[in-house]
C-alpha cells in the first residue's frame, strides 16, 4: 500500500479495513499513524477539530503495535488503528478541558470506561477533539478552543457537541472518532458532516455512571455502518459495572449489519420534541428516504408517538438538562460561559423534590411513548429538522437573554432528544445525497434493545445506496 490513508474509488479506508491490513502485515501501524498525523498537521488549522494532539504518544503506541504483529499471536480487533477521543471524557495522562476556562484541566489518572474499551480494542489514540463547553449545545464552539468548522463548507458548523470528531472523520484526519450523545450529540454532527453516527441503547456502552439519568451515552462517528457495528461489539463486550445494563446481544452487531433485516414495518414520523419550524429540505429528505426504503420492499406507514407534547416535555427537559455540568470540576465560576453559568444557577435553584418528580414524570410518560414501537419496527425521521447553522449564529442575542443559545440548540435536537429520553437505539445515516449543499442525514430509531435491527436496516441501505465515496470538496483533502 503506497498511501494507506489516501482516497481511493470508494473514499478513505475504514477502520475495519486498516485493521485487516495491519493484521495481514500489508502495512504497519506506524506508517498509518504517520499518514494521519501529517493530514492533521496540514488540514486541521482550517477546521480546528483537535484541541490536543499527541504525536509522540501515538508513534510509541504504533511501534508497539507493529512489534506485536511481528511476534504473532492473537490481536485485538482494531490493533494499531488510529482514533481521536472527544475532550469531554477522561484519557489517562491527558488533561481534561471540557472546552472550559472554568475547570482545573487536571491530568487524568485513568481512562473513562468506554475509552478504556477502545484502548483495549487496539486503537492508537492520536489526540482529543473539540466540543462546546461541557457539551451543552449543538455547535462546536467555545471561548477556550474557538470555533470548529464543517469540512463541507467552512462557513458552517459541523454540529455538536461531538463536532470535533465529526469534522475530523469527515475530512479524513482519522478513520473513526469517539463521541458522546446526551440529546443528539453523535447523530446531529453525523447528519451535518455526511457520516454514520449511532446512539446505542441505554446502558449498552460501558460508563462510569449513568450520566444525565441515562440520557447520555458514548459511541463513535464513522463513515460506514460496518465500522459502527464492529465498534459497538467492542463496547458491548466490555465490563459494565453500573446499576443497570441491557442484555448482551446474542448475535454480534457486525454480523447483524451484514445481514438483511427481512421485511420491516417503518414508521414515518416528523413529530418534534421541541417547538421548531421544520425546514423544507428536511421534509424532502424524509420523503426521499421513505421512497428509497419502500423500494427495498419495506412497508412504510405514518406513525405518531403517543404522549409526545413539546409544551409538556420542554420545561421538564430544562430541569434535568441544567445539571449537565455536574460532573465537571469547576474551579472558577466566573470563567464559565454565560449559558452554562445560567444553567448551573438554574440547577442550584431547583429543589430536590422538583428534580425527582420531574424524572419520575419523564419515566412515566416514556411508558406511553414506547407504544409507538408496538406497531412498527423502526421509526424514520430526518436527523435534524433544520439545516446546519453558520458559525457563530447560535450565540446571537445571548447578551440580552443567556437562554437563547440553548433554545436554538434544542430546535436542532428536536428529533433526536426523544431517543435519549427513551434510551432507544438510533442511528443517523447519510442516505439521501444533497447535491450542492451540506449533508443532511436521516434517523432510524429502533425499539427497546433493538440495536441489531437498526444496524441491519442501516447496513442494507448502505449496500443499496452507497455513500462512503462522498467526500468534502471544500478542502485540499
d(CA 66, CA 62): 6
DSSP alpha helix (H) spans, 173-248: 187-193, 225-237
Question: Contact, 477 vs 7, CB < 8 A?
Answer: yes
Per-residue cell: 165: 470528531
Contact between residue 449 and residue 247 where contact means Cβ atoms under 8 Å apart: yes
Asked if 330 and 103 touch (Cβ cutoff 8 Å), the reply is yes
> Which amino acids are annotated catalytic?
86, 161, 185
Place of cell 433526536: 416
- CA–CA separation, 467 vs 189, rounded Å? 16
SS3 336: coil
Look up residue 317 and give its three cell numbers.
427537559
Bond prior to 448 in cis (omega within 30° of 0): no
- 3-state SS of 293-323 is HHHCCCEEEECCCCCCCHHHHHHHHHHHHCC
Is 54 in a helix, a strand, or coil? Answer: coil
Which residues have C-beta within 8 Å of that of residue 245, sequence separation ≥ 6? 203, 204
Instruction: Give strand ranges (E) for 278-389.
Output: 299-302, 378-382
Cell matching residue 362? 419523564
- Measured CA to CA, the distance from residue 463 to residue 461 in angstroms comes to 5
Using CA atoms, how far residue 188 sits from 119, 132, 441, 461, 463, in Å, is 25, 14, 8, 19, 23
- The SS3 of residue 172 is coil
Q: CB under 8 Å to 349, separation ≥6 — which residues?
A: none
Amino acid at each position: 500500500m503506497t498511501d494507506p490513508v489516501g482516497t481511493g474509488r470508494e473514499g478513505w479506508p475504514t477502520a475495519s479495513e486498516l485493521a485487516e491490513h495491519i493484521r495481514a502485515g500489508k502495512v504497519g501501524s506506524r506508517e498509518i499513524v504517520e499518514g494521519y498525523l501529517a493530514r492533521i498537521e496540514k488540514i486541521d488549522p482550517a477546521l480546528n477539530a483537535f484541541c490536543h494532539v499527541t504525536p509522540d504518544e501515538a508513534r510509541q503506541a504504533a511501534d508497539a503495535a507493529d512489534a506485536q504483529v511481528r511476534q504473532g499471536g492473537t490481536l485485538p480487533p482494531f490493533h494499531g488503528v488510529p482514533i481521536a477521543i472527544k475532550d469531554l471524557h477522561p484519557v489517562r495522562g491527558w488533561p481534561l478541558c471540557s472546552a472550559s476556562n472554568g475547570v482545573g484541566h487536571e491530568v487524568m489518572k485513568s481512562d473513562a470506561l468506554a475509552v478504556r474499551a477502545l484502548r483495549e480494542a487496539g486503537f492508537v489514540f492520536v489526540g482529543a477533539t473539540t466540543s462546546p463547553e461541557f457539551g451543552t449545545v449543538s455547535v462546536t464552539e467555545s471561548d477556550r478552543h474557538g470555533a470548529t468548522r464543517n469540512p463541507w463548507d467552512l462557513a458552517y458548523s459541523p454540529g455538536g457537541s461531538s463536532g470535533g470528531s465529526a469534522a475530523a472523520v469527515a475530512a479524513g484526519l482519522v478513520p473513526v472518532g469517539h463521541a458522546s450523545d446526551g440529546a443528539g450529540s453523535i447523530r446531529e454532527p453525523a447528519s451535518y458532516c455526511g457520516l454514520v453516527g449511532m446512539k446505542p441503547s441505554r446502558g449498552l456502552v460501558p460508563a462510569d455512571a449513568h450520566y444525565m439519568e441515562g440520557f447520555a451515552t458514548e459511541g463513535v462517528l464513522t463513515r460506514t455502518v460496518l465500522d459502527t457495528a464492529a465498534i459497538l461489539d467492542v463496547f458491548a463486550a466490555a465490563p459494565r459495572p453500573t446499576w443497570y445494563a441491557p442484555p448482551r446481544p446474542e448475535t454480534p452487531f457486525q454480523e447483524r449489519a451484514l445481514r438483511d433485516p427481512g421485511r420491516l414495518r417503518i414508521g414515518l414520523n416528523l413529530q418534534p420534541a421541541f417547538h421548531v419550524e421544520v425546514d423544507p429540505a428536511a421534509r424532502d429528505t424524509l420523503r426521499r428516504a421513505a421512497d428509497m426504503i419502500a423500494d427495498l420492499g419495506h412497508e412504510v406507514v405514518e406513525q405518531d408517538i403517543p404522549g409526545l407534547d413539546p409544551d409538556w416535555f420542554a420545561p421538564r427537559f430544562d430541569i434535568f438538562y441544567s445539571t449537565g455540568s455536574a460532573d465537571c470540576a469547576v474551579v472558577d465560576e466566573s470563567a464559565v460561559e454565560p449559558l452554562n453559568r445560567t444553567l448551573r444557577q438554574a440547577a442550584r435553584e431547583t429543589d430536590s423534590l422538583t428534580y425527582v418528580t420531574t424524572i419520575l414524570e419523564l419515566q412515566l410518560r416514556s411508558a406511553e411513548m414506547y407504544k409507538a414501537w408496538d406497531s412498527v419496527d423502526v421509526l424514520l425521521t430526518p436527523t435534524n429538522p433544520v439545516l446546519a447553522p453558520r458559525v457563530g449564529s447560535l450565540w446571537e442575542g445571548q447578551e440580552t437573554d443567556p437562554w437563547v443559545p440553548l433554545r436554538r440548540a434544542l430546535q436542532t435536537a428536536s428529533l433526536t432528544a426523544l431517543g435519549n429520553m427513551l434510551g432507544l437505539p438510533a442511528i443517523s445515516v447519510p442516505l439521501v445525497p444533497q447535491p450542492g449543499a451540506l449533508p443532511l442525514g436521516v434517523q432510524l430509531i429502533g425499539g427497546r434493545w433493538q440495536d441489531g435491527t437498526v444496524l441491519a436496516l442501516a447496513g442494507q441501505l448502505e449496500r443499496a445506496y452507497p455513500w462512503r465515496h462522498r467526500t468534502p470538496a471544500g478542502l485540499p483533502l
